[in-house]
Chains A and B, each alone.
Chain A
Amino acid sequence: MSDFFSATQVSAARESLHKIRESMRGTIKGKDTVLDQVLTALVAGGHVLIEDLPGVGKTTLAYALARSMDCVFSRVQFTSDLLPSDVTGVAIYDETIKEFVFKKGPVFANIVLADEINRATPKTQSSLLEVMDRGKVTVDGQAHAVGAPFMVFATQNPVDYEGTFPLPESQMDRFLMRLHMGYPQAADELEILRSTRTGYDAIAMEPVVTRSDILQLQQLALHVFIEDSVLDYILRIVGATRTEADFRAGVSVRGGLALKHAAQARALLEGRDFVVPEDVATLAVPVLAHRLTLVRPVSDGMEERRLVVATLKRIVSAVPPPV
């Protein structure tokens, strides 16, 4: 199943992740659950889709993560006239050396914030999604690797759908998780109000881990032990979504694998070298919900998401965990 690794490695990993969490907590107030989910996605090597209203801290979240890890951060504002080359980069002719050189786009960073991804045309969206999948950009037959680690934070506004190009299911499947920031608690918001910061550029943070530490964590997560009955539990949850009459189609195999990797990452976050059923149950909704659609579509997007999440929660609670 997986190689066994020492308790020292586990505690070191936990310590690293704890440092990042504590570092981000200084900036992102009262969102421990979201922080844990982001860190889980980071360790699992996945990308996250954040669906929330503007101004709740999505950009800050991505920026804080990048700064905590000494990573390159870039932001792309997706609009309808954005071209794929604006995201990935373009080959231009250099008069001085008399040949084409590749000018890297904003995607060549470690943490990329794709703001309002659904405002771009499908072509542009797919150019980003290709990078997310393969971790490299191919221009004129030449592959250019993006940063490592590489993580995309894509955002969508769940309310304003005017002039948008909703991501198709196949592309939604490429995101490990869909997160919601939500409004902060009053006390946390008061603290935010007290701060003098005007934008995320003004955030002053020192990196607490290095990029290589993150890559090591990602490698470690792949070897977290997962027992057969827990794998079986994942299968049963996935299978139940496929037989549920309210869903048009169940979770794909990629979805099941995503849940497994996320559970392994969460186990590491919790300081364990093995997965427990609770890891799976906790992550089932954020990892699987965005991959499911209802048989009878609802015109209101928020309502549809609410119904999907409610049905998924019902399924997860109905599937008994292994004991």
Chain B
Amino acid sequence: MENPRPQLSQIELQQLRWFLGGLIGVVSAWTVFYMEVDALLALAVITATVPFFTLFPRFSRALPAIFHRLAFPLIVTVFALDLWGNREPLPAMIRLDLMLLGYRCISPRGRREDLQLILLALFVVVVTGVFTVSPAFVVQILFFTGAALGLLLAVTLSDARAGGLAGNAVGWEHVRWPELFRRLRAAADLRVVALAGALFSGVVALSALLFLALPRFEITNDFFIDRLITKSSRTGFSESILFGEVNKIAQDGGMAFAVDVSDPAAVPSDLYWRMLVLDEYSGQGFRASAGLRNSFPPVRDKAIVHGGVGRAREDRTVWTIYYQPGVSRYLPLMGGYGRLYFGEPQALAMSPPLRIAALPSEPAKMVGYRVEGMDTDGVLRDRVFAREHVLPAWDSPRARIYFGHDAPPPEPGENAPDQEGEKEVGAPTFLELNGVAPGDLEKLRTWVAEMGGAGVDGPDFARRAGAWLQARHTYSLDSSTPGGEGDVIVRWMGSREPGHCELFAGSMVLLARAAGHPTRLVTGFKGGVWNPTSGSITVRNSDAHAWCEIWDESNGSWVRTDATPGGQLTPAANNDGLPAGASRMEQDTGWSARLDGLRVFWYRRIVSFDQNSQLELMRGTKDQLRGMLVGIRDLLEEQIRRLMEWLRQPWDLTRIFGSLAALGALAGTVWFWQSSGRGWWMAWRSRRTASHRHDPVRREASRWLARLERRVSVLGATPGPGLSATRESLLRLRYGARQGWAPPAEVFAEAKRRLRELGRGKRTMPADR
């Protein structure tokens, strides 16, 4: 084989090892940024020192011996103090790993230390991957694998060069990086690099195939480490919302969740993702009252499937939601639902009267779940509240009605015996205005009268109040409330200041309650954009929103009302709930949308790739393959049938001669190609090839020379004049000037003949014939 590459010297290999080690150290340490581990100091130190020492390794030699003697005891002491102080083993271990990694990167390394560095880096990368399950992990692990393989190769080469003797080459610390990389480029055979890259890609592809093909195991999320890292909420949807908090959430443009819809045509015109229902007004915001919290049953046992309360069970649309970590423990849903599936057994708390579901704690990594039979029309029926205007506790007999979707509405008096001894959960709070001073209450009633809201039903009131609010206030994220005494919302309503969604929603709640309509505040997300890259809906934190649900006495249901300008005052007003289709949604085609699409693909095909997805994929692949095979078989059968028909036709002289002529032409073409055509074609290509290296004639001559010499060597033949002449001709084709070439086709034919003769045992070739 031709190998025009110089070899790296021992010093250069040592320099390469140093560089790769530093690179692995820094990149793997940076992966900790993805986790909520408090390791900023260690990361800052590594970021500052490791690149410096990597680029100027001579300073590593200059570190005093006392530094190396004290380093390990100090690191262990810091780890012990960290563990003792924080009581969190895994974060402490990650910080320990970072300290060791940093030390390994800046101190001189031999073979053993290089291997230690790889292991330390591997620990960080794997832990990050397990916790984040993010697409970035793929990049990290691929980069790490490539760099670690490079480092191991350099270690092996330098060991082999040193004859297995450990020890660094003298003077390697004085690096001229441009020169080293130039040498590395010269030493690297691009063909070998390409082959290695192809092999690496092949292994990755094979792993991906195995991932897709292997049976799914139900691995639960019960690893102890899952609970060791706590992640603080990024956006803060909790049971208590102060005015301005939702607005603050809307400042963040990050993705909150992505939604796959089985039938994009079923997407309603306006999407309201409910997460929290709040009832108690505090004067500074809304929170969940004790009664509301009691409507939540305890967290159910872990299960893959959780049944719910929804009217749309006949709806076969499936919504798959990829919920980002750090948003909230409450799951975004548009209303009641029939069933809710998780990829792995998951504990869930669900309030049937509120149609709200929550995880036991805020997830630290993406949670994927599938919702079937989800109500999207913004109307939530509530039989118990309709009858008694009471929110029952989760364990009250009245609450069970929520768990039986098909249960008939209770007859009057039916539940009377059950009500004895029923736990009281406090008066309903959907009408309370405890935080409002009497003077402000009077103002509210005045405004209700002004808008003609007295004596109308809930939805009608909502429309009047919404129109009244929108006539006085415009929408703005940058809003302010006038100073003075009294309730902040009442002050705002009395002004002409612009406001954000919380002010509009809070005002609607206060006005409705003052008019005697039970009303509650809902927080969550409104809208989303269609991502054509992934074919999914993307909802961002900037879509965070607050709106209300007002009681509709006539229908016994809670009706969504959004008083914020641009929102729907009541679903009926705009015919809400009718599918509008994803095609009418706003399209997001920017680069961030493409990245989001990639992320959704990752969630869809890797993270949430369960048995169903696998079966679906396998079935699709099988169908495609079968279709292809059937197509090929049909084609072949058709051709054979035509041939047979043609053969069965009567054979006259014209057909016989025509067929013979065609066969003769075919044989002649093959013979011509073998004898001359190929040589001519090669010679023609040779003339058009500027590079000797890629000259087809030279390459072919090289192959024939190798065959001849191998055969002669195997047989121990004595080259006679004929064989020598053939060899000489081949040598001329291989190394000689083009002007002196004999016709290549003839030379190759002669070489073929010589080889055949040698194969027949003619060890000594006769003279040229």
B255 beta carbon closer than 8 Å to chain A:
no
Within 8 A of A (CB), among B698-733: 698, 702, 705-706, 731-732
**Residues in A whose Cβ lies below 8 Å from that of B737:** 1-2, 4, 225, 273-274
Q: How large is the interface on A (under 10, 10 to 19, 20 to 34, 35 or more residues)?
A: 20 to 34
Min CB gap A143→B, angstroms? 37
Q: Assess whether B4 is in contact with A228, with CB atoms less than 8 Å apart.
A: no
B649: interface (CB < 8 Å): no
A273 and B740 contact, CB distance less than 8 A: yes
Q: A255-295 toward B: CB 8 Å interface, digit per residue (1/0)?
A: 00000000000000000111111000000000000000000
Q: Is the CB of A243 within 8 A of B1?
A: no
Chain B residue at minimal CB-CB distance from A230: B735
A322 at the interface (CB under 8 A from B): yes
Query: Is B736 a contact partner of A236 (Cβ separation < 8 A)?
Result: no
Contact A323 B702 (CB under 8 A): yes
Q: Could you say which residues of chain B place their CB within 8 Å of the CB of A276?
A: 731, 735
A229 at the interface (CB under 8 A from B): yes
Complexed CA–CA distance, A245 and B737 (Å) = 37
> In this assembly, does A206 line the interface, its C-beta being within 8 Å of a C-beta of chain B?
no
Q: Bound state CA distance, A7 and B732, in angstroms?
A: 12
Interface string of A230-241 (1 = CB under 8 A from B): 101001100110
| Interface status of B476 (Cβ within 8 A of chain A) | no
B235 within 8 A of A: no
Interface assignment of B2: CB less than 8 Å from any CB of chain A: yes
Stretch at the interface among B5-13, B558-566, B578-586: B5-13
The residues of A that contact B706 with a CB separation of less than 8 Å are 323
Q: Does B693 contact A (CB under 8 A)?
A: yes
Q: A230 vs B1: C-alpha distance in the bound complex, in angstroms?
A: 13
Main secondary structure of the interface of B (DSSP, over half): loop
Distance of A323 Cα from B740 Cα, bound (Å)? 19
Contacts of A32 in B (CB 8 A): none
Kindly list chain A residues whose C-beta atoms are within 8 Å of the C-beta of B10: 245
A245 pairs with B9, CB closer than 8 A: yes
A236–B6 CB distance below 8 A? yes
Say whether B698 contacts A227, CB under 8 Å. yes
B-contact 0/1 string along A50-84, CB 8 Å cutoff: 00000000000000000000000000000000000
Question: Judging by beta carbons under 8 Å apart, are A225 and B9 in contact?
Answer: no
Task: Please tell me if B739 contacts chain A, counting CB pairs below 8 Å.
Answer: yes
Contact, CB under 8 Å: B736 / A235: no
A275 and B735 contact, Cβ closer than 8 Å, known pairs A227-B692, A240-B6: yes
Q: Which of B2, B734, B740 is A320 in contact with, Cβ under 8 Å?
A: B2
Question: What mask results when residues 8 to 27 of chain B are scored 1 for a CB within 8 Å of chain A, else 0?
Answer: 01100000000000000000
Residues of B within 8 A of A228 (CB): 691-693
Q: How far is the CB of B709 from chain A (nearest CB, A)?
A: 9
Which residues of A sit under 8 angstroms from B698, Cβ to Cβ?
A: 227, 229
Q: Which residues of B contact A240 (CB under 8 A)?
A: 6-7
**Are B739 and A229 neighbours in the complex by a CB distance under 8 Å?**
no
Residue B86 is within 8 A (CB to CB) of chain A in the complex? no
In the assembly, what is the distance between CA of A90 and CA of B270, in Å?
110
Assess A320 versus B3: contact at CB under 8 Å? Given A1-B737, A225-B736, A273-B736. Answer: yes
Sort A-B residue pairs by CB-CB distance and give the 6 closest, nearest first. Answer: A274-B736, A228-B692, A4-B739, A225-B737, A227-B735, A322-B2
What are 24 A-B residue pairs whose CB atoms fall within 8 Å in the complex? A4-B737, A4-B739, A4-B740, A225-B735, A227-B735, A228-B691, A229-B2, A229-B693, A229-B698, A230-B735, A236-B4, A240-B6, A243-B6, A243-B7, A243-B9, A272-B732, A273-B740, A274-B732, A274-B737, A277-B735, A319-B3, A320-B1, A320-B2, A322-B2
11 A-B pairs besides A225-B736, A236-B6 with CB distance below 8 A are: A4-B739, A225-B737, A227-B734, A229-B2, A229-B693, A236-B4, A236-B5, A243-B6, A273-B737, A274-B735, A323-B1
